[in-house]
Amino acid sequence: MINLAEELKGVRTVGIAGHVRPDGDAVGACLGLYHYLRHNYPSVMASVYLEEVPEAYRSIPGVGQISTSFGPRPPFDVFFSLDCADERRLGKAKPYLEAAGRTVCVDHHISNPGFADVNYIVPDASSTSELMFGILEEEKIPLETAAALYMGIVHDTGVFRHSCTSPRTMEVAARLMRKGVDCSAIINDTYYDKTYHQKQILGRALLESILIMDKKVIFSAVRQKEMDFYGVAPADMEGIVETLMGTTGVEVAIFLYETSPRTYKVSLRSRSRVDVSVIASYFGGGGHVRAAGCSMQGSIHDVVNNLTLHIEKQMLDAE
Which are the contacts of 112, defined by CB distance < 8 A and separation ≥ 6?
Answer: 84, 85, 86, 105, 119, 121, 286
Q: What's the whole-number mean pLDDT along residues 200-208?
A: 97
Q: What are phi and psi of 142, to 5 degrees?
A: -80, 165
Q: Which domains does the chain have, with CATH numbers?
A: 4-192 (3.90.1640.10), 196-318 (3.10.310.30)
pLDDT in tens, 292-307: 999 999 999 999 999 9
Write down the H helix ranges in 41-112. 94-99
Query: Residue 199: which H helix or E strand, with range?
Result: helix 196-207
Answer whether 209's CB lies under 8 Å from 244's CB. Answer: yes
What pLDDT does 55 receive?
Answer: 87
Render pLDDT for 29-88 as a digit per residue (tens, 0 to 9): 999 999 999 999 999 999 999 999 988 898 999 999 999 999 999 999 999 999 999 999
Q: Could you count the other beta carbons within 10 Å of the beta carbon of residue 224?
A: 14
Confidence of residue 138 (pLDDT cuts 50, 70, 90): very high
Residues 311, 298: contact at Cβ < 8 Å? no
| Pairing between β-strand 45-49 and β-strand 13-17 as defined by DSSP bridges | parallel
- 3-class SS at 272? coil
Reduced to 3 states (helix: H, G, I; strand: E, B; else coil), residue 264 is strand
What are residue 100's phi and psi, to 5 degrees? -65, 150
The pLDDT of residue 17? 98
Please give the C-alpha separations between residue 101 and each of 2, 13, 79, 96, 118, in angstroms, as whole numbers: 17, 10, 8, 10, 12
220-270 pLDDT, tens digit per residue, is 999 999 999 999 999 899 999 999 999 999 999 999 999 999 999 999 999
What local confidence, expressed as pLDDT, does residue 162 receive?
87
Question: Do 252 and 217 touch, CB atoms closer than 8 A?
Answer: yes
Q: Do the bridges between strand 291-297 and strand 263-270 make them parallel or antiparallel, or are there none, so unpaired?
A: antiparallel
- Give the pLDDT of residue 266: 98
Specify whether the CB–CB gap between 17 and 34 falls below 8 A: no
pLDDT for the residue numbered 276: 95
CA distances to 114, 220, 245, 290, 294 from 286, rounded to whole Å, are 14, 20, 19, 11, 7
pLDDT confidence of 172, banded at 50, 70, 90? very high
CA–CA dist 139, 161 (Å, integer) = 28
Distance separating alpha carbons of residues 124 and 110, to the nearest angstrom: 8
List the strands of the sheet with 210-212, edge to edge: 210-212, 217-222, 252-260, 263-270, 291-297, 286-287
Mean of pLDDT over the chain: 95
107/208 Cα distance (integer angstroms): 35
Question: Considering only CA atoms, which of 17, 18, 50, 25 is closest in space to residue 238?
Answer: 25
Confirm if 8 and 45 have CB atoms less than 8 A apart.
no
Per-residue pLDDT band for 174 (boundaries 50, 70, 90) equals very high
Strand, helix or coil at 56?
helix
